[in-house]
Amino acid sequence: MIERRILKVPDVVEVVSRIGRGEMGAHTDPINSAEMYVLLKPKREWISASSQEGLEDVLREAIGEVPGVVANFTQPIAMTIDELLEGVRAELAIKLFGDELDELKKSADDIAALVQKVRGATDVQVDQVSGTPQLLIRVDRKAIARYGINVNDVQQVIRAAVGGAEAGQIFEGIQRYDILVRYAPEYRETADAIRDVLVTSPTGAKVPLAEVALVEEIVGPRQITREKNQRFITIQCNVVDRDIVSFVEEAQAAIDAEIDLPPGYFVTWGGQFKLQQEANKRLAVVVPVTLALVFLLLFSNFRSLKNAFLIVLNIPLALIGGVVALWLSGQNLSVPSSVGFIALFGIALENGMVLVAYLN
């Protein structure tokens, strides 16, 4: 249904979907997750929007609200990098740590609803940690004591009847295959059928499983994620039309003011924000050290503090042009633009050296 909606956008050529990923490899994915690769016409032929951000808005509007489905827009390489950083498919990952899954889910939903209101937030979603139907079998120790049955006896019967037990091997040449024996499907596919599984007591009596164990259907956790042995749940989102740092500051202030987390629960911020913070810390050390070394080299070359200061003075002046260029292009200060500023500083220093050498 979503594919058909996407294909109605005139700039879209084709949509290819992949549901889930194999269990082998670095990036496994459950079957409740689908990746849709949208193939577009050349940008010069676009009629719905003039930029990728605009086209994403058009696609969001085309998809609309689908019950039970949350969409996230990214690109293959960007998604791979985001997954390597925090295991999510978005620019920003908010990790909520705590002990109880129900409390984690409730608090995560509250945080997601609050983050959704912050300007620039898109594709906000919370990890699916519940929703898996399970059959819970809890052995009644008092009941099995009356029959003289051990817990292990009950577990072995359940394991063999439902999961299967190895009963030998079959040989075909040099190849060997295990022989697995278990109940026929009609005797193990429903909760009522499993309740009727017979357990043999030491006296030879056949006791239905329902007499010695509680068998009930529950909705259990779909996944439990941990970091440093502590459970957490992730709220992910993308940020548009503003820089991540100011977005995080505003969202963090809103969470601190409106979300009352239980004792022992706390929030951390990751993804591109974490990467940027780490890069800024490195740059805060590397850039001053580099400038000091450059100044030392300039002084050793020109033998003049005045000339060295005059050349280094080009750096803040070049910064003005870079900031204006960012403003005109509508870009935010990011790690790539910081690297661009470093290159700009080098060009400004070279120009200053040439000019001072010529004047001298």
Query: What's the pLDDT score for residue 26?
Result: 60
**What is the spatial distance between Cα 283 and Cα 50, in angstroms, rounded to a whole number?**
35
**What is the spatial distance between Cα 95 and Cα 268, in angstroms, rounded to a whole number?**
5
Instruction: Indicate the DSSP class of residue 112.
Output: H
Query: What's the pLDDT score for residue 21?
Result: 77
| Contact predicate 19/30, CB 8 Å | no
**What is the spatial distance between Cα 333 and Cα 341, in angstroms, rounded to a whole number?**
10
Which tokens belong to 340? 């661009």
Cβ-Cβ contacts under 8 Å for 286 (sequence gap 6 or more): none
Predicted TM-score (pTM) of this structure: 0.67
DSSP 72-85: ----HHHHHHHHHH
Query: What's the pLDDT score for residue 75?
Result: 86
**What is the spatial distance between Cα 113 and Cα 101, in angstroms, rounded to a whole number?**
18
Cβ-Cβ contacts under 8 Å for 334 (sequence gap 6 or more): 243, 244, 276
**Which of 353, 337, 351, 349 is CA-nearest to residue 290?**
349
Query: What's the pLDDT score for residue 226?
Result: 86
* Residues in the chain with pLDDT values less than 70: 24-28
**Which of 104, 77, 79, 99 is CA-nearest to residue 89?**
79
**Quick check: helix, strand or coil at residue 189?**
coil
**In the CATH scheme, what is the code of domain 132-221?**
3.30.2090.10
**Which of 283, 286, 291 is CA-nearest to residue 335?**
283
Query: What's the pLDDT score for residue 273?
Result: 84
**What is the spatial distance between Cα 245 and Cα 183, in angstroms, rounded to a whole number?**
59
Strands 206-208 and 213-221: what pairing? unpaired
Task: Give strand ranges (E) for the chain.
Answer: 12-21, 29-40, 92-97, 121-126, 130-139, 165-172, 175-181, 198-200, 206-208, 213-221, 225-227, 230-239, 266-271
**Which of 275, 286, 282 is CA-nearest to residue 334?**
275
**Quick check: helix, strand or coil at residue 13?**
strand
Which tokens belong to 166? 């190895």
Where does the chain hold its CATH 3.30.2090.10 domain(s)? 132-221
Q: At what angle do helices 272-302 and 244-258 cross, to 10 degrees?
A: 130
**What is the spatial distance between Cα 347 and Cα 343, in angstroms, rounded to a whole number?**
6
pLDDT digits over 6-16, tens only? 999 999 999 99
Strands 225-227 and 230-239: what pairing? antiparallel
